[in-house]
């Protein structure tokens, strides 16, 4: 039988009344403690790298540049490639998994959210998580929201202020609310 972490990553509904939910709460609380340290202490690059490795549970590559403050609710389900840039004030809600490939640029105030609540008002304590995948060399503009289950194809650009609710093919510029293809990239 799968544990609650495996069920959530598989997109199965997660009820806060589940007897295993305290395991998720424990990770959430620990991550908040680490995020507080990350955003309030005067840290050098090596210390930031070490703290990001602790938050994600994976080695944080020294070629990545993350500008603070940075926020995540869970942390353990984020994977970063190499040579990524993350602007300040980004929010990653990663219980469903966030995969960021090599060479991705994410501007300030971008929200990547993998978790939603049940639409039934009597079941709002139930969450449903779907992963976000950001492929190589994607550029996400300032103040963009990427919704659960979205994949953004390699080299694509998401214009500032957009809300991405569906998959983005490779080599295009998208924008708007909801984001739509503006034009193909030519290079």
pLDDT at 184: 98
Considering the candidates 23, 33, 117, 123, report the single residue annotated as catalytic.
Answer: 117
Q: Which domains does the chain have, with CATH numbers?
A: 4-184 (2.160.10.10)
CA-closest candidate to residue 39, choices 83, 72, 76:
72
Phi, then psi, of 171 in degrees rounded to 5: 60, 40
* 36 belongs to the catalytic site: no
Residues found in the chain: 187
Answer whether 0.85 is exceeded by the pTM.
yes
The pair of structure tokens assigned to 79 is: 């994977």
Give the mean pLDDT per block of 10 residues along the chain (187 residues): 93 96 97 98 96 97 97 98 99 98 99 96 96 99 99 99 99 99 96
Q: Which one-letter DSSP state was computed for residue 19?
A: T
Rounded Cα–Cα distance for residues 156 and 184 (Å): 9
């Amino acid at each position: 039988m799968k544990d609650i972490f495996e069920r959530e990553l598989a997109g199965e509904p997660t009820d806060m009344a589940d007897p295993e939910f305290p395991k998720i709460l424990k990770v959430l609380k620990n991550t908040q403690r680490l995020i507080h340290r990350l955003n309030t202490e005067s840290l050098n690059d090596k210390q930031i790298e070490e703290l990001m490795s602790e938050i994600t549970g994976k080695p944080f590559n020294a070629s990545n540049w993350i500008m603070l403050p940075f926020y995540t609710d869970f942390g353990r389900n984020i994977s970063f490639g190499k040579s990524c840039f993350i602007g300040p004030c980004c929010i990653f809600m990663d219980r469903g998994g966030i995969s960021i490939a090599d060479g991705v640029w994410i501007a300030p105030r971008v929200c990547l959210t993998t978790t939603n609540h049940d639409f039934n008002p009597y079941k709002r304590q139930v969450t449903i998580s779907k992963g976000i995948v950001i492929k190589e060399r994607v550029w996400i503009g300032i103040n963009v929201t990427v919704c659960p289950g979205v994949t953004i194809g390699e080299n694509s650009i998401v214009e500032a202020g957009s809300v991405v609710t569906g998959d983005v093919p490779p080599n295009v510029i998208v924008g708007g609310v909801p984001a739509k293809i503006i034009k193909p990239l030519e290079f």
